[in-house]
Each structure stands twice: as structure tokens, then as C-alpha cells.
Structure 1
């Protein structure tokens, strides 16, 4: 059975194009087990306690350090358990919502999702597929002013998730019919 981690990052609940796209993508995977993570339920940003805990070997972490990493550990476990990660996001001011950046920071962990070696960083997650459901008012996907898509490809790839597909409704504020049709066609073409 396919296990899907379904993440939504839009601050908008009603009328969210990215939420609609991500839900439709997940629905294509019949009989999948779905873990749902709504980033509208605010994730904390990394802080000094979190950073200190990540740089402390797991076997000598204090109770306070374990507590500082508890949510991060849970988020990493969700990614580790998933075969497919579906991320619904709008492009806000040329990039990802702050909640999605907080999620990236929480799951990108030395010793958990990547490791440092003499040859440089090596990813520890593999065999996973990511599908990005992106809504944009006017920023063209993969254009010089789209910092969201390359950020996600880089962050996911750094951790070992290099199979990243994009379903985009780009130009929703300028040509919504064409943008929606492009997204609909991309969803129909997805292998499930």
C-alpha cells in the first residue's frame, strides 16, 4: 500500500487553489494510507535550543534537548514513513510560505535526513517521490523570479528526495482559466 504524506501550506483555507490541487492529487492514489499535515497549524521556527540539541549526539541529549527536538523527530518520521510526499503551496512574495520554510528547517537534520562525509553532505532519504501542487497569482513557475520551486527541489533533493514533479496553476490572477486547465492536465497525466 502506498503511504502518502499530504502537506498543505496555504494560509487560505476556503478557496485555496493549492489545497484543491493537492487534495485532487492525493485522491488519484486509490487505497493509499494518508498522513495529513496542515502547516496552517503553525510550526515553530528553529531556535537556539533546537540548534544546540541537533549538534548534541543523540545518546547524550538532555531531557530538555530531547523535548526541543520532539516535534522535529515526529515530522522526520512522517517523511521517513512516506512513499509519496504531496505538498500544496502558494507562492507568496516569490517564495514559499514561512510555515513551509519552518517545515523544511525542522526536517532537514544532520544525522537523520542527511549526513556529512569527507566527500560532502550525503542524503539519507531515498526511494521517495514528491509532487508539488503550486498556485501562483502571477509568478511563472521556474522563472527567474520563482524562488519557491527551486528551493523545494533543492531542499528535498539535499535530503535524498530527487524525484520531484510539479503541478502548477500559475497565473491565477492574470489568466485563471488557462492556469487551472494546465494544472488539471498535469494532474490527469500523473502516474498514481
Structure 2
């Protein structure tokens, strides 16, 4: 059985296909999950809506606690890391992370950034040893996880080679820290032209939904193969 972690980070409630002024990124993540369930109804889905319930930002106490060895942590340190521990538990269980991440001012929403800050943790998702030969940092999530970023943009031309691609810090902003901790199988799709509201918007929605279908098929095949290998190992 494959476990999916479904994250939404849009501040907009509802989906754009079911609610006026609803979220395009929520629409895409919902479509991903619906299509996944259509062929694999028994897989586990963990849902985390950081758009509606943002994680707490990292504080000085959080950093102090995270960089203290677990056996030496005081009670207040465990409390400071409790939410991070919960988010990490969900991430560690997941085989596929599908995240709705709309573009806000060329980057990800602060709510999504807070989630990332809470799951990039020394000793849990990355290792650090200053005395280690060569690279003192290393990724600790080596189980073949996949991540899918489903985005939306008011303007157009943010994909690689596009007219304003250099301004797009969404996918890279999510992929870079996740690659750092070991999640290197990365996929994305995005709706553009949101602020135009014309036939270009509708075409972009259709293209993004078609790409979501393709990604679902790719990942189902990939993780079915991984499961088969694990069962015969």
C-alpha cells in the first residue's frame, strides 16, 4: 500500500471548480487525489491544510531544541518541537507528497515555508557532523519518496524558458530543501493566466489537469514497482 501526504497551502478556501473565487491549486491537488483513488482506493491519504492551519514559525527556542541531542532535551524542548514532530511523522510515513503551492509574490505562501522549516530537521531528515570527511551534511530520507508541486499563477510565462521564468521561486523553493533531505523524484504542474479570466485561463486549466493525470499514472507505476521490489527482497 502506498501512503500519500496531501498538503494544501492556499489561503483561498474551496476549489476553483466548485466555488467562486476558489483556489486553483486546491483544485489540482483534489484532482490528483481523486484520480489516484480511482485506481488505488485502498491507499492511505494523510491530509494537512497548512493554508487554513499554518504551522508555527521556527523560533530561537525551536532551533535550540532541534540542535540539542534528544537524550539531553528538557521538557520545554520537547514541547517546542511537538508540532514539528507531528509534521515529520506524516512526512516519514508518506511515499508521495502532493502539495498545492500557489505563487504569492513570486514565491511560495508563508504557510508552506513554515511547513518546510519544520520538517528540515537535523538528526531526522538531514545529518550533520563537522568532523565528517568531505561533506558534513547528508540527506536522511533515502526511501524513494516522490514530491509533486501543483501551483497556480496570476500571470503567464513562469515555466523554464518562459518570459518571466527567472521570477519563479515556487517550485525551486520547495524542491531544493526537499532534495537536500533526500526527496529527489520531483514533479510539477501549474495553472497560469488566472488574472486574465479568458480562454487562455481555461486552456491552462485543461493543460494542467491533463499533466496531473500523467503524473498520477507515472507515480502509480513507479511506486507499484518499488512495492514489488520490497516484497521480493
Q: TM-score range by the shorter chain?
A: over 0.9
Is residue 181 from structure 1 mapped to residue 181 from structure 2 by the alignment?
no
Tell me the number of residue pairs that the alignment of Structure 1 and Structure 2 aligns: 192
Contact 1:141 1:149 in 2 (8 A): no
Structure in which a larger fraction of residues adopt strand? 1
Partner residue, 1:100? 112
TM-score (norm 1): 0.96
Confirm or deny: 8 A CA contact 2:101 2:170 kept in the other structure.
Answer: no
What's the secondary structure of 1:36's corresponding residue? strand
State yes or no: 1:135 paired with 2:152: yes
1:25 and 2:32 matched: yes
Q: How does 1:10-21 map to 2 (within 5 A)?
A: 10-14=10-14, 15-21=22-28
Task: Render the CA deviation track for 1:107-157: whole Å, top value 9, x for unaligned.
Answer: 000110011243232111121011111111115134100011111110110
Partner residue, 1:151: 173
Q: How does 1:118-133 map to 2 (within 5 A)?
A: 118=132, 119-126=135-142, 127-133=144-150
- CA distance in 2 between partners of 1:122 and 1:92 (Å): 31
For structure 2, the residue ranges without an aligned partner over 5 or more in a row are: 15-21, 221-233
Q: Return the offset for 1:188.
A: 2.1
Structure 1 residue 18: deviation in Å?
Answer: 0.3
C-alpha deviations, 1:53-82, integer Å up to 9, x for none? 011100010000000001101101110000
For 1:171-190, what per-residue CA distance to the aligned partner results, in whole angstroms no more than 9, with x for missing partners?
22233112102202201212
Q: Find the residue that maps to 1:177 and give its secondary structure.
A: helix
List gaps (5 residues or longer) in structure 1: none
Paired with 1:168 and 1:44, the residues of 2 have a C-alpha distance of 27
Aligned to 2:194: 172
Task: Tell me if 1:113 matches 2:112.
Answer: no
* Bigger proportion of residues as helix: 2
Is 1:163 the counterpart of 2:193 in the alignment?
A: no
For structure 1, which segment, 48-57 or 137-146, has the greater mean C-alpha deviation from structure 2 after superposition? 137-146
What is the aligned counterpart of 1:71 among 72, 83, 86? 83
Q: Is contact 2:108–2:170 with CA below 8 Å preserved after alignment?
A: yes
Runs of 4+ in structure 1 off by over 3 angstroms are none
From 46, 71, 82, the equivalent of 2:94 is 82
